[in-house]
Amino acid sequence: MSNTNNQNASHEWQTENMTFVLFGATGDLAKRKLFPALYNLYVDNKLPTTLSIVCLGRGDYCDTDFLTKVEDALTRFSRRTIEPQTLQKFLSAFRYCKFDATNEDSYRHLNELIQSREQQLSLPENRLFYLSVAPTLIERIATGLDASGINHTAGWKRLIVEKPFGNDLKSAQQLNKTLSQFFHDDEVYRIDHFLGKPIVQNLTSLVSRNPVFNSLLTHENIANVQITAFETVGVETRAEFYDEVGALLDMVQNHLLQLVMMTALHLPEQATAQEIRAKKVAIMKAIRSISKEDVAREVVRGQYEAGTISNESVLGYKEEPGVSTISTTDTYFAARLYIDNAHWKDIPFYIRTGKRTTSKSTKIVIEFKTETDTPNLLVIDIGPHQGLSLTINVKNPTTKQFEPATLTFQSSTENEPEAYELLLFDACVGNATFFANWQELELSWQWIQPILETFQQNTVPLAPYIAGSNGPIEATELIQQQQFTWW
């Protein structure tokens, strides 16, 4: 039995034989991300030698029918081609169990199934529970796991919880309180898949391994930091969920604030998980709060209107199936924030995210101070392609004019592990470094709360933008107030 999160970064993580219990196994995330991640970990020999995978959903399937669904998901979404023999061995670990989170009998059946598989396979009682379910069911399931004794194991237990963790500060606190009755904080893995993206995990070593960056990324040199997460997709088939949360809760409260923390970290290369978490908490504490009165000045809330993306006409948000025709949900968000610590004091961070923008792009741009027109830029591309570039000014020998030139490193993304693979592996071995801890999450909710209230009370304008653009004009004006421009 191992525990867990206090190890040194250089520690070799070991897998132990275990049971993986997946709640929400018939859902979209399981199909697109979790099954392919498990399969690819299996192919890479990164799963425990003996593993029992128990899949739970509301549907009535026999094992054979369910396995056909898993196979279909792998064929469609795995980054690797499926090899029939490997697939058969992989699938032999799976069992399906119809499950109703509100029904006591369901927990009893589940307990029996877990135990009978443990006996059959001589597994220790190491149990990893993955809750890929509607947020309203999380507390119910945690309570049920406890009441039925499923989480009283002789081995270790861990609980992975998908976002959103709560829907405001109070509900997040309540959720945490409930979970803490049944799971120790070290056992709760709050997943944020942006923290699983390889280049995000390597941000800190980028600085520690390259003295040149260390001397560049100083308080004196940096003019501003810009973090963008743009997508071409709209609300897709998720209107019921998305219309309740909007970009603020879907992307900012978790992903963007995590990117802010990861960008602002300064760590020695051998930082431990605990050091990283402590620094992230310190950064969250140092983020200047935006009062309700200041929201209109520091934040832009936008919503897409009909437009064209890649030569195809797309609907406006309010015309999307399932969205209320008078919805004021934000599909775009931009803000200026400050981290009041010695390194980042008075350097603005501009963050923005939007659906139905020109292109899919997630990136961090660090703009350096300059006297010339084109500033030096350090660009960290997070997705869809990972890479790094540095823009410098070079004199054109013919025109004798200075022109920007870009030094680029593009990571070969072919067959690179996906975020969910890295994070699932970490959870299997008990490494919580790249999961959100409660303190940073609570602080991020505290920062979000006044903004959320102004959105809910509709006291800040909702800026329209055309689908296929880079967002509302108000976002451009926000950054221009300080004579900067979005990159």
Which residues are known catalytic residues?
255
Dihedral (C-alpha) 277, 280, 281, 285: value to the nearest 10 degrees? 170
Handedness of CA 361, 412, 264, 368 (dihedral sign): negative
CB of 213: closest distance to ligand BG6 in angstroms? Answer: 25
Question: Which 369-408 residues touch ligand BG6, going by CB under 6 A?
Answer: 383
Residues 6+ apart with CB under 8 A from 293: none
Q: CB nearer to ligand BG6: give 1 or 233.
A: 233
CA 225 to chain centre: 20
Q: CB nearer to ligand BG6: give 231 or 243.
A: 231
CB of 445: closest distance to ligand BG6 in angstroms? Answer: 16
Q: CB nearer to ligand BG6: give 347 or 436.
A: 436
CB of 436: closest distance to ligand BG6 in angstroms? Answer: 13
Residues forming a β-bridge with 465: 304
DSSP H/E element including 305 = strand 299-305
Cα end-to-end distance, the chain, whole Å: 49
Burial of 188 (0-12, 13-18, 19+ CB in 10 A): buried
CB of 456: closest distance to ligand BG6 in angstroms? Answer: 19
CB of 362: closest distance to ligand BG6 in angstroms? Answer: 5
Check residue 357 and report its DSSP letter: B
**Structure tokens, 261:** 């923390």
Q: CB nearer to ligand BG6: give 197 or 336.
A: 197
Q: By the 8 A CB rule, do 374 and 365 touch? A: no
Q: CB nearer to ligand BG6: give 97 or 247.
A: 247
CB of 48: closest distance to ligand BG6 in angstroms? Answer: 27
Tell me: does residue 231 bind ligand BG6 (CB under 6 A). Answer: yes
Q: CB nearer to ligand BG6: give 249 or 295.
A: 249
SS3 370: coil
User: What type of residue sits at position 136?
Assistant: T
Dihedral (C-alpha) 117, 121, 125, 130: value to the nearest 10 degrees? -60
CB of 403: closest distance to ligand BG6 in angstroms? Answer: 32
Residues 6+ apart with CB under 8 A from 90: 38, 39, 42
CB of 311: closest distance to ligand BG6 in angstroms? Answer: 22
Estimate the share of the chain in helix, then strand, then coil, as percent rounded to the nearest 5.
40, 20, 40
CB of 107: closest distance to ligand BG6 in angstroms? Answer: 29
Burial of 328 (0-12, 13-18, 19+ CB in 10 A): middle
Q: What is the largest CA-CA distance in the chain?
A: 80
Residues 6+ apart with CB under 8 A from 407: 389, 390, 391, 392
Q: CB nearer to ligand BG6: give 67 or 256.
A: 256
Number of neighbours of residue 363 by Cβ within 10 angstroms? 21
Question: Which 301-360 residues touch ligand BG6, going by CB under 6 A?
Answer: none
Angle at 446 between CA 262 and CA 436, to 5 degrees: 40
Residue 24 Rama label (left phi>0; alpha psi -120 to 50; beta): left
CB of 156: closest distance to ligand BG6 in angstroms? Answer: 28
d(CA 395, CA 86): 56
Burial of 285 (0-12, 13-18, 19+ CB in 10 A): middle
Site string for ligand BG6, 125-164 (x = CB under 6 A): ----------------------------------------
Residue nearest to ligand BG6 (CB): 250
Q: CB nearer to ligand BG6: give 127 or 193.
A: 193
User: Phi, psi at residue 476, to the nearest 5°?
Assistant: -65, -40
User: What type of residue sits at position 280?
Assistant: K
Q: CB nearer to ligand BG6: give 94 or 230.
A: 230
Q: CB nearer to ligand BG6: give 19 or 253.
A: 253
Q: Count the site residues for ligand BG6 by CB under 6 A.
A: 4
Dihedral (C-alpha) 243, 249, 250, 255: value to the nearest 10 degrees? 170
SS3 483: coil
Residues near ligand BG6, by CB under 6 A? 231, 250, 362, 383
